[in-house]
A and B are shown apart, each in its own frame.
Chain A
């Protein structure tokens, strides 16, 4: 499989996430679109990792292709921490405004 196929797939998923953030007004859906964008980048990193696994440099160094997958693992760790704090913020926002519409949050005071 060509790496371009994986790049095209990851780009499409990322753009769907961008469109979702621009179009939807529900804060939870926007947060889910951010997760989708993170996953598109993860897929691209794993694809590049496997592209480098058949390069000549990978023969000399056994962990040459594994670094990108460790990176993906850390992205997942950070995403899990981010979701717990972000959902707490959304719950607090719902408690204050009784809505998850981001249009109500266009001013910083009052």
Chain B
């Protein structure tokens, strides 16, 4: 078994295990921390695929900015394991069974799919900042500028919604 396969298996187990822990944690703060572990595992996958720009952006934007925002809101509301909503075990069972059957159907369809298609690991310049920056500022300039307008409207929307009156 090569070191790449070993790293892939390790990162996959880390991602799936942390995602399960995020769902079953009682306290919302623990859920946020487990989700940060999932994001780091996914960033590890990006490094393994040599998508360096996305690995760094994933850590900075998701683990750094978005999850800190979640933590602030959780602490602002003073949520903990005692304030968790009351559970309905029948609905929980139905949710797990339906989600599990969705996974079963998708995976069985995947197993019957065609021939093997390899993925380029550890090499290749498709994910380097050099190539991505040239692509972004030649072919995708207009979506890039529109996304700044989106950010502005999201900022104004958050201020308007969160205003106290």
- Interface residue ranges, A against B (CB under 8 Å): 1-9, 11-13, 15-20, 22-26, 28-29, 31-33, 35-36, 39, 42-43, 46-47, 49-51, 53-54, 58, 62-67, 69-70, 72-74, 76-85, 87-92, 94-95, 99-103
Contacts and interface: CB of A to CB of B under 8 A. Distances in A.
Contacts, number: 236
Interface string B129-141: 0011011100110
A93 B96 CA distance: 27
B110 A18 contact: no
Contact of A79 (B4, B16, B66): B66
Contacts of A73: 53-54, 57, 132, 136
A51 B61 CA distance: 25
A4 B154 contact: no
Main secondary structure, interface of B, reads helix
Contact of A69 (B76, B100, B132): B132
A84 B156 CA distance: 10
Given A94-B77, A99-B85, 12 more contacts: A22-B99, A26-B28, A46-B46, A50-B51, A66-B132, A69-B51, A70-B140, A76-B57, A83-B66, A85-B154, A85-B161, A92-B162
Contacts of B136: 70, 73
A11 B110 contact: yes
A24 B92 CA distance: 8
Contacts of B76: 91
B61 A80 contact: yes
Interface string B80-97: 000111110001101110
B47 to A, nearest CB: 11
29 contacts: A2-B116, A7-B110, A9-B15, A9-B45, A11-B107, A11-B110, A15-B99, A15-B102, A16-B99, A26-B79, A28-B74, A32-B35, A36-B38, A42-B54, A50-B127, A53-B126, A63-B134, A64-B126, A65-B126, A76-B61, A77-B150, A79-B66, A80-B66, A84-B154, A84-B155, A87-B73, A88-B162, A92-B161, A102-B85
A63 to B, nearest CB: 5
Given A46-B51, A63-B139, A24 B119 contact: no
Contacts of A36: 19, 22, 35, 38
A25 B85 contact: yes
Contact of B73 (A18, A85, A90): A90
B54 A28 contact: no
Contacts of A90: 73
Nearest to B121: A1
